Amino acid sequence: MRTITAKPHRGRKIGLFGGSFNPAHDGHFHVSRQAINRLGLDELWWIVSPQNPLKPLAGMKPFEERYTAAKRKACHPAIRVSDCEQRYGSQYTADTIRRIRREHPRDQFVWIMGADNLADFVRWRRWHEIFQALPIAIFDRRSYAQSASASKPLRRYWRHRLSEQTSRILVSCRPPVWIFFHSRLHPASASAIRADTSSQHIERGDSR
């Protein structure tokens, strides 16, 4: 493991949590509260994607509907819901991060993600650039810890790992640096909620 160096603190400590939020659910909220508390964040932004290029259009609610629902769910004083990707016309996380850092040069950012995203992370456009741009905090999702550690991104950057015990310095560390939280899991998932909603429609005779 390499020596991790911290940058002098400046401005706010902000977590960036991107996703389709289709819909926003208690699992998102649970991870967000964990991130705020364990990383010592001043704010955490839910960045609602207009359309994730790796996800199908079928079943994807309109952006405004997802954005509005996320604002209702984000009932925490430190959580902000952002439409920046819609405003930027951005599809890719690397582009979004670059633009946010340019617009907020005094603030420090960390990328927040669930371990389930690691399987497809190598398909993200310029994924190496994301690791080089920001510290990354990864939260366990439904016992993904074992498969996550075998993923290409974490194998590539394994020596840049920070221990959970020093998590509060992560935001101030120079990338590439990442941390994996073996956190208490929350059962909610967007796919389960959509499946439950579909079954409710069928029970009501609503086939839409």
- The continuous run of DSSP H or E covering 191 comes out as helix 190-203
Tokens of 63: 């952006």
Mean pLDDT score across all residues of the chain: 87
Which residues are CB-neighbours of 137 under 8 A, at least 6 positions away? 15, 35, 39, 110, 111, 112, 113, 167, 170, 178, 179, 181
Alpha-carbon span 24 to 42, nearest angstrom: 21
Q: What is the pLDDT of residue 203?
A: 30
Alpha-carbon span 72 to 56, nearest angstrom: 25
Q: What is the pLDDT of residue 141?
A: 73
Q: What is the pLDDT of residue 76?
A: 97
Tokens of 99: 């633009």
Average of per-residue pLDDT across 177-193? 70
Q: What is the pLDDT of residue 144?
A: 72
Residue 74 main-chain phi, psi, to 5 deg: -80, 60
Residue 199 has pLDDT above 50, yes or no: no
pLDDT digit string (tens) for 7-63? 777 799 999 999 999 999 999 999 999 999 999 999 999 999 999 888 888 899 999
Average of per-residue pLDDT across 136-142? 88
Q: What is the pLDDT of residue 164?
A: 95
Which residues are CB-neighbours of 156 under 8 A, at least 6 positions away? 128, 131
Mind listing the domains of the chain with CATH numbers?
A: 13-203 (3.40.50.620)
Name the pLDDT band for 202 (thresholds 50, 70, 90): very low
Residue 159 has pLDDT above 60, yes or no: yes
Residue 197 has pLDDT above 90, yes or no: no
Alpha-carbon span 206 to 208, nearest angstrom: 6
More confident residue, 138 or 203: 138
